[in-house]
Structure 1
């Protein structure tokens, strides 16, 4: 589709169909943006605040430019509004609704862009859409998505850095994403993941491949290269930064310096990638309008058909908004309230002394929460309940901002993770497990390590999966049962007597009925 048509005059027979279709398309696009303006504003807000997705401001102008390059080939196509497009439009609108119910930005924003894209074949037809299929697809790069790969990228970066350091003869002691070498301590945090480099490289690399290559094979190969190069480059960047710090006595490549060095190194690598890729560029094919036009005479496009399909499209778009309004009206606005009981099971009594100096999980903006300690036979266990009601994009149970400890936590660092099966309420349930280490071992000589178990409670249903928690929340709200949810976290020192896993499993088995009653009472009290 990447071709330049000769500047031949546009047939006069196309003038009227385009005059009918363009106003309908523009009004439909405006209607989409108006109805789903909150989603669009959320996208722009992320572009503005996150350096990772600042390129989103450039995507719409690039798309318009790419479409403008194809204007003569587009004008030669027959406009045939497609009524059947309403089916995928309805499915996409439903996906948006489910994403909004679960407060998942990526889902709602992808759905919004998909609705904008689907408006083109709905009003103009498939022939026109085929001419601009790449620009329409490139519009999805405006969606600020991709940070979900950050944990894996961080793990790979730590693996390579430790491997390369040992290969260089530098002794390394590693725990999770933290490692120690003779010259100091290092950790792989979000800024070290390379996700910014990866997203930028894929975006620019895809555009470069489209503009410089004609064969599908070369385009795909270059996009694959634009994925692999920034990942490997980030590994090398991390290794070199640690080595610079090591040999300079931590005077170089620390603080802001290592970010500056990282971007300079990445810029050089990406520039070399494009220079090498340009050696295999293919010239654009010159085609005339007549060569790409239809051999059959154009059929008349009536204003009635164009506006009828646009009106049906607009009506389908409004259905999720109406459903959301109805659900909002039926839900109570009463705030949630949690009070820690003096005892759970009879043998587990509340005690005043907090576990590990008052550790508290980093769950943001809950509707209600408690963080108490319960003991049995001298074995204390910390219990944290974070309750969420009327969840939205700033207050939600499952979020990248909610974690046991953030990467920059001054007191604790997560060094290991696992899962365990526990008998809860007569069923075998999988819970997450994590080991936390005090960042200052001298200051935390006692209870310097914690074992923490975590599970979600979604309207009485237990799961340790983020995805299932989101799905349950959307389902319960869609069926009129609200979105009341909570996180249940239990924790205790690793070196506590009796075996940590055994004590935590016993605590959950014995006390979950009382915890469940407390959460159910909170849900019903609204």
Structure 2
């Protein structure tokens, strides 16, 4: 019993510094971790493997700890990179750059470990902890590039067959048959992330040579991309052959996973061949585990490593803030009462999805001057203004939950540029509902801390430039027109010209300090 108590006490003494340091770190990064996990629970998206990958990471970490029996110490020279990662995280919080915060989570975890274990011991934990990076939702920025690559690849494949088609942006038009959009879900991002994760895990469990791991990883990436290209091509080809009546169009997700699973067969055959190569056998036979580190001053290390994230947390403003259950009504008065409200707040079933704004004006309306006596309105108009006093967790202008349209219901048909009378840029977009066949013409712009942008990424970066002025607000303005006989783009331009000045004045009065 005495020996057992000694082992328990030794375990607690060795484990407690890690608990102390990681407890302080999670106080800082918890809002970001919560946002990452919220993407894992959306099981129909690219990060639904997150929980499984987290479990695998825990198992591999325990396995590495049992194999190496690490000894806690204090390695002060690693405080510098840990502090730099904390500064990067703090900047991401101040500038409301969610991607920057997410990018630093895994380096912060490894940084806390290396301060207590040193480089010789922490090498065994790099892959077990680092594999979580494939579940961090920063990979979405690759999606557009992957979409374009998929389009070009299928353009090449379709050209080998006697198929009359045209390609415009991410749309493939089968002349006389129908059209396919190579949307976000068709980019192949989910297969790429799963393929990368499997490759890293296989390498951790079966390879000892770094070159073998790199070769296997690159092959896994190539096969994951190939699986998506094959999936998209087969769906488009079958749509052409069956006049858009193939069941693969509706069941494209399951079909894609079957194709991906098929590519795993050659991948693991190649992996097995790499395991028995001469260089792998030599590396396995000569493997020597890193010896334990000196005990050192583990408690001073734990105290210093825990103090740094708490110090950053103390300097940061409250990132949660208060989220209103219902946004404040944002009253806008238009000259001469030109526009009158219509019942409802959508156009042909379309409306933007915007989460937790502080103030909002959402109204469907018609133009009094365009209505002939005794007749109904020729066109329906939509105006949405969504404003944030300041951007914080769960209340950000550009976030995953804020969408101009639902991709399952609306398909972009045309993109065009517009500008207001004052020269403010707007992005124009014509949407079509495939089920109803109805069109909606919309224009939108972002107004971030006094700066105008039409691109989501640039709207995020506008917070960096806006950091040096007194404004903290961010707003989205969306204009919409639905009509059958009129020129939608011209009607939209007239609507923007007549309403934009009043909207900007109201926003400036509300938010300018």
Length-normalised TM-score, structure 1: 0.75
CA distance in 1, matches of 2:489, 2:137: 44
Instruction: Report what 1:26 is aligned to.
Output: 19
CA distance in 2, matches of 1:441, 1:256: 14
CA distance in 1, matches of 2:51, 2:320: 32
CA distance in 1, matches of 2:241, 2:453: 48
CA distance in 2, matches of 1:353, 1:330: 32
Give 5+ residue unaligned stretches, structure 2: 1-8, 371-377
Instruction: Report what 1:11 is aligned to.
Output: none
Distance of aligned partners of 1:157 and 1:401 in 2 relative to their CA distance in 1, 3 Å threshold? farther
Instruction: Report what 2:263 is aligned to.
Output: 269
Residue in structure 1 matching 2:118, options 94, 118, 125: 125
CA contact (8 A) 2:76 2:115 kept: yes
Deviation (angstroms), 1:143: 2.2
Deviation (angstroms), 1:457: 0.7
Distance of aligned partners of 1:107 and 1:356 in 2 relative to their CA distance in 1, 3 Å threshold? closer
Q: 1:386 and 2:386 equivalent?
A: yes
Cα deviation digits, residues 13-65 of structure 1 (max 9, x gap): xxx99986543123322333355444334333432333432332233443344
Distance of aligned partners of 1:168 and 1:393 in 2 relative to their CA distance in 1, 3 Å threshold? farther
How many residues are paired up? 487
> Helix, strand or coil: the match of 1:128?
helix
CA distance in 2, matches of 1:235, 1:86: 45
CA distance in 2, matches of 1:170, 1:332: 54
Instruction: Report what 2:452 is aligned to.
Output: 462
Residue in structure 2 matching 1:241, options 225, 235, 251: 235
Deviation (angstroms), 1:275: 1.2
CA contact (8 A) 2:74 2:300 kept: no
Deviation (angstroms), 1:472: 4.1
Q: 1:362 and 2:346 equivalent?
A: no
Distance of aligned partners of 1:158 and 1:471 in 2 relative to their CA distance in 1, 3 Å threshold? closer
Q: 1:197 and 2:191 equivalent?
A: yes
Instruction: Report what 1:397 is aligned to.
Output: 397
Instruction: Report what 1:154 is aligned to.
Output: 147
Q: Which moved more, 1:193-202 or 1:397-406?
A: 397-406
Instruction: Report what 1:230 is aligned to.
Output: 224
Distance of aligned partners of 1:361 and 1:153 in 2 relative to their CA distance in 1, 3 Å threshold? farther
Instruction: Report what 1:4 is aligned to.
Output: none
Q: Which moved more, 1:60-69 or 1:50-59?
A: 60-69
> Helix, strand or coil: the match of 2:411?
strand
CA distance in 2, matches of 1:310, 1:396: 35
Deviation (angstroms), 1:469: 2.6
Q: 1:306 and 2:294 equivalent?
A: no
CA contact (8 A) 1:386 1:487 kept: yes
Deviation (angstroms), 1:203: 1.0
Give 5+ residue unaligned stretches, structure 1: 1-15
Instruction: Report what 1:135 is aligned to.
Output: 128
> Helix, strand or coil: the match of 2:477?
strand
Distance of aligned partners of 1:500 and 1:24 in 2 relative to their CA distance in 1, 3 Å threshold? same
Instruction: Report what 1:278 is aligned to.
Output: 272
> Helix, strand or coil: the match of 1:49?
coil
Distance of aligned partners of 1:115 and 1:55 in 2 relative to their CA distance in 1, 3 Å threshold? same
Distance of aligned partners of 1:218 and 1:330 in 2 relative to their CA distance in 1, 3 Å threshold? closer
Instruction: Report what 1:216 is aligned to.
Output: 210
Instruction: Report what 2:473 is aligned to.
Output: 484
CA contact (8 A) 1:438 1:449 kept: yes
Distance of aligned partners of 1:189 and 1:474 in 2 relative to their CA distance in 1, 3 Å threshold? same
Q: 1:49 and 2:39 equivalent?
A: no
> Helix, strand or coil: the match of 1:132?
helix
Distance of aligned partners of 1:221 and 1:500 in 2 relative to their CA distance in 1, 3 Å threshold? farther
Deviation (angstroms), 1:333: 11
Instruction: Report what 2:107 is aligned to.
Output: 114
Instruction: Report what 1:341 is aligned to.
Output: 333
Instruction: Report what 2:4 is aligned to.
Output: none
Deviation (angstroms), 1:204: 0.7
Deviation (angstroms), 1:486: 0.7
CA distance in 2, matches of 1:94, 1:130: 24
> Helix, strand or coil: the match of 1:120?
helix
Cα deviation digits, residues 99-121 of structure 1 (max 9, x gap): 44555554434333322211111
> Helix, strand or coil: the match of 2:404?
coil
Instruction: Report what 1:519 is aligned to.
Output: 507
CA distance in 1, matches of 2:71, 2:14: 11
> Helix, strand or coil: the match of 1:487?
strand
Distance of aligned partners of 1:497 and 1:475 in 2 relative to their CA distance in 1, 3 Å threshold? closer
